[in-house]
Structure 1
Amino acid sequence: MNELVLDRRIESNTLPFLVNGFASWSTLFIFETTQIIPVVARHILRSRSFDPQTRQIMLLIFNTSLAISRTKDYSLPQFTTLQRQIDRSPARDPSPRRYGVTRELALATMEHSHQFISMLFKVGSFASVLSVMDLYAPVFRRACPECSEGLVNLRRCLTTLDVQLKYYASLDDLLSLITHRPMFLRYTLDFLSPQEEPIMKSNKGTGLRWMYGVPDQLMFTLAKMNGLFEDFGNRVDPETIQELEQEIAACRPVVSIGSGEDPIMNLGRIMVQEAWTMAARVYLYMGLCGANSLDVREVKVWNVFMRRLGGVKSRRHPDSFLVYPIAIPQLVP
Structure 2
Amino acid sequence: MHLLNKRNRWYPYKFCSVPLRLTLDLLQTALPVFLAACPSARPPHMLDILLKGGLNLSHFVAADVAICVTTGRPLLCRYHVPWSLDLCNEFMEKVENQGSQWLFGIPDQFILLIGYIDGLVKNATAAGITVDSGLLAQIEDDVRRIQVSPCESNDPSLVARMAVQQCWREAVIVYLMALGGAHALDPRVGPRRDS
CA contact under 8 A between 1:166 and 1:208: conserved in structure 2? yes
Letter in 1 for 2:161: R
Q: 1:227 to 1:256 in 2, by over 3 A?
A: same
Contact preservation (8 Å) 1:253, 1:270: no
User: Highest relative contact order (Cα 8 Å, sep 6+), 1 or 2?
Assistant: 2
User: For the structure 1 residues 123 and 228, does the alpha-carbon distance in structure 2 shift closer, same or farther, using more than 3 Å as the test?
Assistant: same
Report the TM-score, using the length of structure 2 for normalisation.
0.84
Unaligned 5+ residue runs, structure 2? none
Unaligned runs of 5+ in 1: 1-106, 306-333
Task: Show CA shifts across 1:131-184 (max 9, x none).
Answer: 11111111110101124xx21011111123621111001111221122222211
Of the candidates 140, 146, 155, which is equivalent to residue 245 of structure 1? 140
Stretches (4+) displaced over 4 A: none
Q: How large is the Cα RMSD of the aligned pairs?
A: 2.5
The alpha-carbon deviation at position 251 of structure 1 amounts to 2.5
Write out per-residue CA displacement over residues 209-252 of structure 1, whole angstroms, 9 at most, x where no aligned residue. Answer: 11111122111111112222334369321122012112211223
Looking at structure 1, the residues matched to 26 and 140 of structure 2 have their Cα atoms a distance apart, in angstroms, of: 33
User: How many residues were matched structurally?
Assistant: 189
Q: TM-score, normalised by structure 1?
A: 0.52
Say yes or no: does 1:299 pair with 2:193.
no
Alignment equivalent of 2:33, drawn from 107, 118, 139: 139
Taking structure 1 as reference, are residues 203 and 241 closer, same or farther at Cα in structure 2, changes over 3 Å only?
Answer: farther
Q: CA deviation at 1:203?
A: 7.1
> Secondary structure of the equivalent of 1:226?
helix
Contact (CA 8 Å) 2:49, 2:57: kept in 1 or not? yes
Larger Rg: 1
1:59 is aligned to none
1:96-144 Cα offsets, whole Å, 9 max, x none, are xxxxxxxxxxx22211221222222244211111111111111110101
2:169 counterpart SS class: helix
Distance of 1:118 and 1:196 partners within structure 2: 27
Quick one: distance in 2 between partners of 1:182 and 1:172?
A: 9
Counterpart contact for 2:106–2:168, Cα < 8 Å: yes
2:15 aligned to which of 117, 121, 124:
121
Aligned to 1:255: 150
CA contact (8 A) 1:221 1:247 kept: no
Counterpart position of 2:130:
235
Instruction: Indicate the residue corresponding to 1:283 in structure 2.
Output: 175
Q: Distance in 2 between matches of 1:170 and 1:181?
A: 14
**CA 1:245/1:202 → structure 2, altered by over 3 Å: closer, same or farther?**
farther
Q: Aligned pair in 2 of structure 1 residues 295, 227: CA closer, same or farther (>3 Å)?
A: same
Q: Does 2:47 align with 1:152?
A: no
Q: What percent of counterpart residues are identical?
A: 22
